[in-house]
Amino acid sequence: MKRSQKALSVIVVLAVALPVFLLLGIAYGAVPISMADVVNTALNNLGFSLASTSDAFSQNQLIIESIRTPRVLLASLIGAALAVSGALMQGLFRNPLADPAIIGVSSGAAVGAALAILFESIWPAGYAHWATTIAAFLGGLAATWLVFKIGTSPYGTSVATMLLAGIAINAFAMAGIGLINYLADDNQLRSIIFWQMGSLGAASWLNVWSMAVVVAAVALVLPRYANTLNALLLGDSEARHLGVNVDKAKKWLIIVTAVLVGVAVAFAGMIGFVGLVVPHLIRLVIGPDHRFLLPASALLGATLMVLADLCARIVISPAELPIGIVTALIGAPFFMFLLLQKRQTISG
Amino acid sequence: MKAKLTALILGIVFSTLSQAQQRIISAGGAMTELIYALDVQDDLIAVDTSSVYPKLANQLPKIGYHRSLSLEGVLSLKPTLLLGSEEMGPPNVIQQLQKLKVNVQQLPTAVTVEALKERIARVARLVGKDAQGQVLLAEINVSQQQLSEQLKAVEKPRKAVFLVQHSGRSPMVAGTDTSANTLMELAGLLNPAAKSIKGYRQLTSESLIVMAPEVIIVPDHMLKNNSSLEKLLALQPGLKETPAAKNNRIITVDSSLLVGGIGLRILAAAQKLAGEAYPELHSAIVQVP
pLDDT tens per residue, range B77-99:
999 999 998 888 888 889 889 98
- Mean pLDDT to the nearest integer, B50-54: 87
For residues B251 and A197, what is the distance between their CA atoms, to the nearest angstrom? 37
Is B52 in contact with B29 (CB distance < 8 Å)? yes
Contacts of A8 (CB under 8 A, 6+ apart): A292
Are A66 and B199 a contacting pair at CB < 8 A?
no
The mean per-residue pLDDT over the stretch A289-315 comes to 95
DSSP 3-state of A156: strand
Q: Is A317 on the interface with B (CB under 8 A)?
A: yes
**Chain B interface mutation, best of A123, A191, A207, A317, highest count of B Cβ atoms under 10 Å:** A317
pLDDT for B157: 93
Quickly count helices (H) and strands (E) in chain A. Answer: 15, 2
Residue B86 has a pLDDT of 85
Whole-angstrom distance, CA of residue A279 vs CA of residue A338: 13
User: What pLDDT, on a 0 to 100 scale, did the predictor assign at position A46?
Assistant: 83
Dist. CA B132–CA B80, nearest whole Å: 21
Structure confidence at residue A346 as a pLDDT band (50, 70, 90)? low
Given a contact cutoff of 8 angstroms between Cβ atoms, the answer to whether B163 and B172 are in contact is yes
pLDDT for position B9: 59
Instruction: Give the pLDDT confidence score for residue A340 in this predicted structure.
Output: 85
Give the list of residues 6+ apart from residue B198 with CB closer than 8 angstroms, or none: A185, B175, B176, B177
A204 and B92 in contact by Cβ < 8 A?
yes
Q: Do B75 and A63 touch (CB under 8 A)?
A: yes
Give the per-residue pLDDT at B260.
65
What is the pLDDT, as a whole number, of residue A348? 44
pLDDT value of residue B226: 66
Rounded Cα–Cα distance for residues B268 and B113 (Å): 13
Q: Report pLDDT for A58.
A: 81
Do B68 and A199 make contact, defined as CB atoms within 8 angstroms? yes
Is B19 a residue whose pLDDT tops 60?
A: no
Which of A126, A187, A318 is closest, CB to CB, to B61? A318
The candidate with the shortest Cα–Cα distance to A200, out of A297, A79, A60, is A79
Q: What is the pLDDT of residue B281?
A: 74
**Comparing A94-103, A128-137, B4-13, which segment has the lowest mean pLDDT?**
B4-13
With a cut of 70, say whether residue B8 has pLDDT above it: no
CA atoms within 13 A on the CB side of B136: 27
| DSSP track, B224-249 | HHH-SHHHHHHTSTTSTTSHHHHTT-
What predicted TM-score, i.e. pTM, was given to this entire model? 0.86
* Alpha-carbon distances of A303 from B64, B192, B251, rounded to whole Å: 26, 57, 55
What pLDDT is stored for residue A256 in this prediction? 94
Mean pLDDT of B243-250: 91
The average confidence (pLDDT) of chain B is 86
Q: Give the minimum alpha-carbon distance from A273 to chain B in angstroms, rounded to a whole number.
A: 22
In 3D, which of B13, B14, B3 has the Cα closest to residue B40? B14
What element of type H or E holds A153?
strand A152-153
Average model confidence (pLDDT) across chain A: 90
ipTM: 0.81
Please tell me the predicted confidence (pLDDT) of residue B111: 87
